[in-house]
Copies of this chain bind each other. A is one copy, B any other.
């Protein structure tokens, strides 16, 4: 077993000091997020993640989930762990008390989600998607649908899935072909094949609630002709328990690079005449509803990036402290030392940690804005927060998952040859992480989303508002003493400057109608955003560390790590970021210059 220790102190510091959980707890319907309760939740979740889920990560990778005679068997210990997970109420954290939820803010749920994903990414996917499904039905389901499904899904007795992709319809949902026809009883009959359905079939729960995109025969072509249906594995009986088996099955599971224990199903609907589906909301508005779930899942996947980075960091750190090899550079006469004494190993560990902490803080900051957008009494404040969430969602998804892959790769590297041996465990993180920049929209799609929908559409207004927040942090650093504050402030200001120019260029380029040119620079544009926003978060962390260090009785050692990590990020990661600006604006010179045949 490869240990995982939930970073409860780090999470608490980010929640309380960096993103301001107190302000969230003061919002209507968020009162339960009192410091004591949140502390208890974090501690208890940490114990569950470390004690129950983490030990199953390796066995999950080795055994994988298997399809046998139409039944998907999760690995040994999986079902017991899930039952414990559900019984402890972990599915219900951020949901409405009316349906059995605990009414905690998403900010807290995000922090807890990180622990599940870090402990066991394959396991964590099941509740991650279930949360998105609950969010969707809470928002768009009918009263009856809520009464039948929500409490079961919030309790975790049933799980929800997301059925979008078809062989010809991946990023392009307009190409969905799965058919829905109206039945006489007001329900629908669904026929078609869906692929890449995470936990599309499993043995963890007595029922599975599929949320399926399909097209009615008379629907308009394209994206505006897609409807959303609830298609349960077992049709609920009048008493709410699972009844008749629906006409759907898992046709096969994919053989994947990683997340072996998470069953990725090909789902066949309607082999015997049509699966019974129940329309969510109105016909032809399915994509709109599904965006509720997708936005939720995108932030969730971004948190997976943070999580796998944390897990890889812990493993590499433990290895670096115990693996003895070569002399200390500072002591040519001594014997071999633990490799954490070697500067490049330190650099790698700090790089892993700095990226992880920056991405974590940004995800939790997005959580606060999500909570404000839902609960703040003033509409203008809600709208401003919603605009922040809109801008941040593609960044949290794509930047954090890129970081997850980079950090997992660095983790392998720190292990040297042992990193390439599967028994060590570092390689599993590297394999598992690799899906996160792909699913829930490839990171390229998110870069386009940031460029077009989130920057171009409002002519940079929301983007500039967020940048103004960053400026305020840079200004606040000016009043603090010491070299660290100067270095961090200068790096942040230079990053902000580049970001402002990039936003202006993105807006102008779209105004000129050069959509290809804007798209060519999109990934670098998102990378710049993530890097600067992450630097902003660590600047806030540094401010709190500097302030804290002046207080008697502070945990100086802990605060020092925050300060050094922030400075490392500023010098090693943020300082080079403005060099992305020329790559953003020049990509259009070459990207479309060759014909397809020249590739």
Contact = CB atoms under 8 A, between A and B. Distances in A.
B590 A571 contact: yes
B325 A423 contact: no
A516 B587 contact: no
A261 B589 CA distance: 43
Count class of interface residues, chain A: 35 or more
A587 B592 CA distance: 38
Given A421-B254, A586-B571, A598 B405 contact: no
Interface stretch (A39-47, A361-369, A576-584): A576-584
Contacts of A195: 417
B257 A343 contact: no
Given A326-B171, A347-B523, A409 B434 contact: yes
Interface string A511-524: 00001110110110
Contacts of A590: 350, 564, 567-568, 571-572
A346 B596 CA distance: 9
A317 B599 CA distance: 7
Interface stretch (A95-103, A134-142, A183-191, A436-444): A436-444
B442 A561 contact: no
Given A325-B171, A340-B599, A416 B431 contact: no
Given A345-B444, A416-B438, A420-B439, 12 more contacts: A168-B324, A256-B421, A257-B421, A330-B515, A338-B596, A343-B588, A344-B522, A346-B592, A416-B442, A564-B590, A568-B591, A571-B582
6 nearest A-B pairs in the assembled complex, by CB-CB distance? A576-B579, A579-B579, A343-B519, A257-B427, A343-B520, A568-B590
Contacts of A597: 557
A193 interface: no
Contact of A447 (B344, B434, B447): B344
A508 to B, nearest CB: 17
Interface of A: 165, 168, 170-172, 174-175, 195-196, 254-258, 317, 320-321, 324-327, 329-330, 336, 338, 340-350, 353, 405, 409, 412-413, 416-417, 419-423, 427, 430-431, 434-435, 437-439, 442-444, 447-448, 487, 515-517, 519-520, 522-523, 557, 560-561, 564, 567-568, 571-572, 575-580, 582-583, 586-594, 596-599
B350 A591 contact: yes
A591 B597 CA distance: 48
A520 to B, nearest CB: 4
B343 A592 contact: yes
